[in-house]
Structure 1
Amino acid sequence: MELKIKRRTPNRSLYGDIFNVLALLAVASFMALPLVYAVNNAFKPLEELFQFPPKFFVRHPTFDNIRDLFTLMNSSWVPFTRYIFNTVFITVIGSFLHLVVASLAAYVLAKHKFPGQKMFFSMVILALMFSPHVTAIPNYLIMAKIGWIDSYLSLIVPAIAAPLGVFLMKQFMEQIPVSLLESARLDGANEFYVFWKVAMPLVKPAWLTLLIFSFQALWSLNGGTFIYNEALKTLPTALNQIVATGFSRAGAASAIALFMMVVPLSVFIVSQSNVIETMSTSGIKD
């Protein structure tokens, strides 16, 4: 006697699917409007930038704003490429070191027992509750005391010690089965090998996400509190200086805003697919 299996069809209609798709497209379009407007502003001539009522789309696209940006920076301060180098250097070095330090700390907190372990993690959680504005003055006094004013270290070191990375990585490290780590140790692997070759591949979703967060935070970091040497300033600082020059440089400000927006957006789009893929395939539990 054959067992008949009755398949249950989902209670969905074609019109309902169409409505859901249209609603999601409408929400996505609304969220993308500021990005589209910023891109259009970067290619608008000055007369269109100050046209009233303002036009959303550019009518006569031009690259004058980008040329004006390089001319203004080269003649007034330092070459524009110097701001790019400073921002890229701080972002890459800071993101990488933050990932390494946060992962090592999270691995120790999640998979090793030592005196004061709970107290240390409680301090990490407590640090998450403080706004950067609250700690701005103490941070400045510390940087001035150790001589890191006008130094890359004043921006990179605080980013390395950000508590969010430790908190995020610890939640994923705790899901790694202890049996996997013990098997590697029995095979003769040292502790760093276990961390780097066993634990880190299993928490790939966490460190990819952490890299995105770190990159975006450091890319948009102003740093004006600690950096006064023009040759060490970053792109957000350059944007503030251009805006402060007045309405005549609004086109250059739009051009640098476009550059600052495109890079982190591209990184997020490229990395997002990897994060989603690894998140969906990583269900590890002890």
Structure 2
Amino acid sequence: MTLIRKRKRIFRFQKKLNRSLPVSILLFMILALFGAFMAIPLIYAFNNAFKPLDELFIFPPKFFVRNPTFDNFFDLVAVMGDSWVPLSRYFANTFIITVIGTAGHVLLASMAAYPLAKYRFPGSRAIFSMVVLSLMFSPHVTAIPNYMVMSLLGWINTHASIIIPSMAFPLGLFLMKQFMEQLPDAMLEAAKMDGASEYRIFWSVVMPNVKPAWLTLLILQFPVLWGTNGGDFIYSEQLKPLNYALEQITLGGIARAGVGAAVALILMVVPITLFIISQSNVIQTMSSSGMKD
């Protein structure tokens, strides 16, 4: 009788959660309104990239472009063509930093989180406490120690000075550990009984089931590395990333306003595209990852 009463209570609770059609339509309209509001800056930046100079400086400013043109992108190519370092070199530097840094961060965070989440060994709690404590510090606080370490290792003015610190992003380790703790131990024990090694369990069982976590890390880390300009670590012009070169172009004054709008669109398109692709996978995987012991 007690079990029947509990089921009746659950049924009544689920019934209360069911929304009527007018309420669902109202919620959809509210969410659509907020979505459109959030998309305004992106649409404005897209239109600015195709505006001629006279439309960029018109007052009051117009939201949508009237006479679209590709002159801003042609001017960007012409400006970069006059540089003694080709545009392809900047693209290659950014590609190397972003891909290696993001992949290394996901891999390192996952491999470090697995033993912390599924095994108890001396010092495991202390290590995780240090990871959580490191989340409190801003990157500006650790900038000087980070520079000193890179200098002692001889990595200043190399891509390693940007890639290696990005792999040790503490939020990635924290997020991966929290996700891996939700995996049922029975699933891992079954894999061990089938003769799977720890490496096989990690790659074939753990990583596919924590796909939302490492896709989230991908979304978080990729834009950071894509938008880096080398900071105080890279001095050689041939090693500078794309963002640095485009920032120098936009410093040309009013005459470079159109080129600056094209630069803003280029820097914005790649992270947004990656986010849209990864977001669909995250939502799809999240809906089927509610595993319990």
Aligned partner letter, 1:20 = L
Answering whether residue 118 of structure 2 is matched by residue 131 of structure 1, we say: no
- Matched with 2:29 is 22
Aligned partner letter, 2:154 = G
Instruction: Give the drift of 1:226.
Output: 0.8
Of 12, 21, 26, the match for 2:20:
12
Q: Which digits, 9 at most, give the CA deviation of each residue in 1:143-200, with x for residues without a partner?
A: 1222111111011101111111100000011111112212222222211111111111
Partner Cα distance (2:24, 2:188) in 1: 46
Instruction: Give the drift of 1:56.
Output: 1.0
Answering whether residue 57 of structure 2 is matched by residue 33 of structure 1, we say: no
Answering whether residue 194 of structure 2 is matched by residue 169 of structure 1, we say: no
Partner Cα distance (2:209, 2:146) in 1: 35
Of 172, 190, 205, the match for 1:183:
190
- Matched with 2:210 is 203
Partner Cα distance (2:53, 2:86) in 1: 23
Partner Cα distance (1:100, 1:61) in 2: 44
Q: Which digits, 9 at most, give the CA deviation of each residue in 1:3-43, with x for residues without a partner?
A: xx9996945253x4443333222211111010001001111
- Matched with 1:62 is 69
Q: In the TM superposition, what are the counterparts of 1:74-85 in structure 2 within 5 Å?
A: 74-85=81-92
Of 54, 58, 73, the match for 2:80:
73
Q: Is the 8 A contact 1:224 1:233 kept in 2?
A: no
Aligned partner letter, 2:107 = V
Partner Cα distance (1:283, 1:18) in 2: 28
Answering whether residue 109 of structure 2 is matched by residue 102 of structure 1, we say: yes
**Number of positions where the alignment pairs a residue of Structure 1 with one of Structure 2:** 281
Of 200, 216, 230, the match for 1:223:
230
Normalization by structure 1: what TM-score?
A: 0.92
SS at match of 1:281: coil
Answering whether residue 125 of structure 2 is matched by residue 118 of structure 1, we say: yes
SS at match of 1:140: helix
User: Relative to structure 2, which stretch is displaced further, 24-33 or 101-110?
Assistant: 24-33
Q: Which runs of 5+ in 1 are unaligned?
A: none
Q: Which digits, 9 at most, give the CA deviation of each residue in 1:190-218, with x for residues without a partner?
A: 11111111111111111111111121221
User: Relative to structure 2, which stretch is displaced further, 177-186 or 160-169?
Assistant: 177-186
Identity %: 58
Q: Which runs of 5+ in 2 are unaligned?
A: 1-10
User: Relative to structure 2, which stretch is displaced further, 61-70 or 217-226?
Assistant: 217-226
Q: Which digits, 9 at most, give the CA deviation of each residue in 1:40-83, with x for residues without a partner?
A: 11111111111222111111111111111111122135222222
SS at match of 2:64: coil
Q: Which digits, 9 at most, give the CA deviation of each residue in 1:214-254, with x for residues without a partner?
A: 21221122222211111111222123212222221111111
Answering whether residue 255 of structure 2 is matched by residue 243 of structure 1, we say: no
- Matched with 1:142 is 149
- C-alpha RMSD over aligned residues: 1.9
